[in-house]
A and B are shown apart, each in its own frame.
Chain A
Amino acid sequence: MTPREIPIYGIVAEFASPADLLEAARATKQAGYTRTDAYSPLPIEGLAGAVGGGHSKLPVLVFLGGLIGGASGYLLQYYTAVHSYPFNIGGRPLHSWPAFIPVTFECTILGAALTAIFGMLALNGLPMPYHPLFHVGRFARASRDKFFLCIEARDPIFDAARTRAFLETLSPTAVEEVPS
């Protein structure tokens, strides 16, 4: 197989409403396209599933992040108060577990919250200051009131002419090529 040169990133179609976009995305999936993405100014229920997303590992990661945060918070207090710097405070035992609860709790939350935020950014591949779609002038309206569906050129069944023709059948308001 010879490496095919990819002159374009993909073909993007513009739609007028969330309903149109969702319908188009489902039709695209049905047609066998796998390398697609949809763009909309608001989250749409079920849309990620139609473009091959929709499964997030984030909840598990966040749970683990919280666990690690809490465990390190507790161990930090245990190590410093019992081993590194044993000191009698008001006759309380060195291992004063009731007094260790608040800090452990805060560390749990911190660990989980940082995992949620940075995990989300990492899973989304952000920050990504450059993306081919930004070349398309009308794509700026993806953050205002227009809805886009992009079939990417790396899709196995992508063919510039046929894919374009296919997108035209989904009643878009415009279809454009995305330069790479």
Chain B
Amino acid sequence: MTEPQATTGQQVLAPGHSMASITDKVSAIVLTRPVGKRWLFGFTLGFILTCVLFTTIANLLVTGVGIWGLNAPVGWGFDIINFVWWIGIGHAGTLISAILLLLRQNWRTSINRFAEAMTLFAVSCAGLYPLLHMGRPWFFYWLMPIPNTMELWPQWRSPLIWDVFAVSTYASVSALFWYVGLIPDLATLRDRTTSRLGRMVYGVLAMGWRNSAKHWHQYETAYNLLAGLCTPLVVSVHTVVSFDFAVGVVPGWHATVFPPYFVAGAIFAGFAMVLILCIPIRAVYGLQDFITMKHLENMGKILLATCLMVSYGYAMEIFTAFYTANTYEEYLMHNRLHGPYATSYYALWFCNLIVPQVLWFKWARTNVWVLFIVSLAVSVGMWLERFVIIVLSLSRDFMPSMWGQYRGTPWDWSMYVGTIGLFITLLFLFLRFLPVISIFEMRTLLPEAKVGDHGEHS
């Protein structure tokens, strides 16, 4: 703590690197490394699953949303569960790049690029669900406030329209933030590629970036401003997602703690996904010098902290049922504990509350296998959390005559697996064509980069 820069600077970048070696090592993944068997395997797997997704979507468009398991009391099912699940996963990327930048946590440098990419791909997968859930997705523009001959306007008191604004803003801003972060590295690739096509493509994308000091100054200002904007944005997005439920008066949905509890859950799930992706990628591409144990341990700590926040949310849900002495809230708790879906509730507790407790120990936070397994458990647990919130509340709300059961059909599952495939495909394309680590930010971690009068101007 007394010498944060000096000590963490060494830990987040293995010693012995120079500007040239960082540039060469990271850009080589894109420029010179041959297409490996493992990459080909991963991409093929993703591609096959993406075909499953396209088949499902085709069937959905031809037949209708009836191929999903939705029914009269349970009007939201896998589609909304997966929407919330994906969008939550996406949030970690923005948090890593924005909040940790504002907090001057330099360990974020080597994982932010790739976490932001993860955000984009996750948001793409998330966006598919509400779009297709509409039944007639070709009318999606009805959600937008566009003057029309029917003289209709959106209904601003509904959280669903807030969601449209929140998610589309989030998708556009995180795409642009990611692109802005890429510009200098695209220039590096433009200058280093030997292929003519590569020079053209990267050259166009780099927009003539020439590393001018004046440009860097504007660039850094813009980047910091964007980080400052993205932080409240990411919080607002999952808050609005939580509003989708909490504004409704269905038992178990209308809890004022939902906004912070959903945001914490999103970070929890998101960091788990970053770890799931980070651990194999650093091994396969030999990036252990850049994504060090320190990174993994810090992410483990964040997992633990958000696990406790999520636990607080669960505790408050139970306490609400008890304290309000409201019949429906009480029954909801009873239904969670003893109803037909009780297994999912217990499984969610096991995955989200019990398994991550192992992260209190340093040996667990520094063991890639433990981290990987905990992250998988958290991903499953957070999926189950949304399942419990959505399906349990809807299937048995106020009147027993309205109760029903819900289960996902094979098409629900194929859609879910398909979006995972889309995510994998996009991720592998990213690994292949863009620098997975921010090269220019890694350069700033080197000791020789620290010149100038920092105390005066920062």
Contacts and interface: CB of A to CB of B under 8 A. Distances in A.
B156 interface: yes
B222 A117 contact: yes
Given A41-B440, A87-B155, A105 B219 contact: no
Contacts of B222: 58, 116-117, 119-120
Contacts of B233: 106, 109, 113
B18 interface: yes
A40 to B, nearest CB: 6
Contact of A80 (B19, B20, B156): B156
Contacts of B119: none
A42 interface: yes
A43 to B, nearest CB: 4
Nearest to A92: B157
A89 B157 contact: yes
A175 interface: no
Given A45-B458, A80-B156, A140-B191, A107 B165 contact: yes
B156 A100 contact: yes
Contacts of A90: 157
Interface in B189-225: 190-192, 203-204, 207-222, 225
B452 A62 contact: no
A143 B188 contact: yes
B310 to A, nearest CB: 23
A22 interface: yes
Contacts of A40: 211, 213, 216
B232 interface: yes
B84 to A, nearest CB: 17
Contact of A38 (B204, B213, B440): B213
Contact of A129 (B159, B207, B449, B454): B207
Nearest to A51: B213
The prevalent SS among residues of B at the interface is: helix
Nearest to A66: B229
A174 B187 CA distance: 22
A18 interface: yes
The prevalent SS among residues of A at the interface is: helix
A139 to B, nearest CB: 8
A162 interface: no
Given A62-B225, A102-B165, A110 B211 contact: no
Interface in A27-55: 37-48, 50-54
A128 B152 CA distance: 43
Interface residues of A, number: 73
A127 B206 CA distance: 8
B77 interface: no
Interface in B139-172: 145, 151-159, 161-162, 165-166, 169, 172
A66 B229 CA distance: 10
B227 to A, nearest CB: 10
A92 B151 CA distance: 21
A133 interface: yes
A124 B214 contact: yes
Nearest to A150: B212
Contacts, number: 221
A143 B209 CA distance: 10
A59 interface: yes
B184 A143 contact: yes
Contacts of A105: 232, 236
Given A103-B161, A127-B208, A19 B156 contact: no
Nearest to A124: B215
Given A51-B214, A85-B152, A107-B165, A42 B444 contact: yes
Interface in A60-88: 62, 66, 73, 76-77, 80-81, 84-85, 87
Given A37-B214, A40-B213, A143 B191 contact: yes
A116 B454 contact: no
A4 interface: no
Contacts of B218: 56, 58, 120, 123-124
Contacts of A22: 451-452
A106 B221 CA distance: 21
A167 interface: no
Given A45-B454, A56-B221, A143 B187 contact: yes
A121 interface: yes
Contacts of A38: 212-213
Nearest to A22: B451
Contact of B229 (A25, A116, A134): A116
B154 A59 contact: no
A64 to B, nearest CB: 12
Given A58-B221, A85-B153, A46 B18 contact: no
Given A43-B220, A113-B233, A123-B218, 12 more contacts: A18-B448, A37-B213, A42-B216, A46-B452, A48-B214, A51-B214, A73-B165, A80-B153, A99-B156, A116-B222, A127-B207, A130-B208
Interface of B: 18-20, 23-24, 145, 151-159, 161-162, 165-166, 169, 172-173, 176-177, 180, 184, 187-188, 190-192, 203-204, 207-222, 225-226, 229-230, 232-233, 236, 239-240, 243, 440-441, 443-444, 448-449, 451-454, 456-458
23 contacts: A17-B448, A25-B213, A37-B213, A40-B213, A41-B211, A43-B219, A44-B449, A45-B451, A45-B452, A46-B453, A48-B216, A62-B225, A76-B145, A81-B156, A105-B236, A106-B240, A110-B169, A113-B169, A113-B173, A113-B176, A116-B226, A129-B208, A143-B187
